[in-house]
């Protein structure tokens, strides 16, 4: 015990936060401040050295939701660390603020890998619904000047991730409304208006910038897509479009249609699906060093 306290003290004297013990939940870690808004994240750490870090982006139609909503929390028991991150909601800031914030969180986490014992080369970005859209966009736009932003203090760090897990997310905001059911239109129309500051067809350049399908290139990380075939809110064609963009370039993509599932549901978080996600990540991530 004395040796642990001494080690922690030495870290603090050197100007670094003390290493965090495994098997802990670390809440309210501030990673950036924009004007009067403090962006925070919560860390869920496994009992042993993590197999990798999953950066989780919550859903909520871009205008609601909370980092407390972590669909894939069960992966902690399979050896993964999870960082659930804030981003400015569309009620506070229009796009691309959300992408800037998520990239800032990734840079912060990479700057603090020694503190939290993360493998810096095994970062995963994951999200559901609107969070799935944002995760996909951030994951396929590493280094994009318009989307990288200057949020946070760790601007020299990379915001690259090595894998993507996207649950029922949007991928093409220029086609989503035409693909939507009436209930989907009732939700997505106002939500997109708030996110983009106008309907997609009235701000076409911004809608395209916000659409992952237009950014996919040969450098993008392996992708696992899961989408319910009975989803009334997010058209499954959005997942088909992103899978198609990956397949066209010969990139690694696994597209699992969740038969009978709507917008979310237990099939996405049950032990069998968590095991599938775990296997995908362990297969496609770079080897542990």
pLDDT tens string 177-189: 999 888 777 788 8
231 or 17: which leads in pLDDT = 231
pLDDT at 70: 97
pLDDT at site 54: 98
Domain annotation for the chain: domains and CATH numbers: 20-284 (3.40.50.1820)
Average pLDDT of the residues of the chain: 92
* 169 vs 282: CA distance, rounded Å: 23
User: What is the pLDDT, as a whole number, of residue 280?
Assistant: 98
Q: What are the CA-CA distances from residue 272 to residues 225, 230, 277 (Å)? A: 16, 20, 9
CB atoms within 10 A of CB 6: 10
pTM comes to: 0.91
Residue in this structure with the two tokens 């050896």, named with its chain if needed = 79
Q: pLDDT value at position 16?
A: 38
Q: What is the mean pLDDT of residues 20-47?
A: 91
């Amino acid at each position: 015990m004395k040796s642990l306290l001494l080690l922690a003290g030495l870290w603090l004297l050197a100007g670094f936060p003390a290493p965090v013990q495994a098997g802990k939940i670390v809440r309210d870690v501030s990673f950036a401040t924009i004007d009067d808004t403090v962006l925070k994240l919560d860390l869920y750490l496994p009992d042993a050295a993590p197999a990798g870090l999953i950066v989780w982006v919550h859903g909520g139609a871009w205008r609601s939701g909370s980092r407390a909503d972590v669909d894939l929390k069960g992966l902690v028991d399979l050896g993964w660390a999870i960082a659930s991150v804030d981003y400015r909601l569309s009620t506070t800031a229009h796009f691309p603020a959300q992408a800037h914030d998520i990239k800032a969180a990734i840079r912060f986490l990479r700057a603090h890998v020694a503190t939290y014992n993360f493998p810096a080369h095994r970062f995963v970005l994951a999200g559901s619904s609107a969070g799935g859209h944002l995760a996909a966009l951030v994951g396929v736009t590493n280094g994009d000047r318009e989307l990288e932003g200057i949020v946070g203090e760790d601007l020299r760090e990379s915001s690259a991730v090595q894998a993507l897990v996207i649950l029922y997310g949007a991928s093409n905001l220029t086609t989503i409304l035409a693909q939507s059911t009436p209930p989907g239109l009732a939700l997505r129309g106002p939500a997109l208006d708030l996110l983009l500051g106008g309907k997609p067809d009235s701000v076409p350049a911004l809608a395209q910038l916000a659409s992952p399908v237009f950014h996919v290139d040969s450098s993008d990380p392996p992708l696992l897509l899961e989408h319910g075939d009975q989803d009334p809110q997010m058209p499954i064609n959005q997942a088909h479009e992103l899978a198609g963009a990956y397949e066209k370039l010969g990139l690694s993509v696994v597209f699992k249609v969740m038969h009978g599932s709507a917008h979310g549901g237990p099939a996405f978080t049950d032990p069998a699906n968590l095991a599938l996600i775990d296997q995908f990540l362990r297969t496609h991530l770079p080897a542990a060093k």
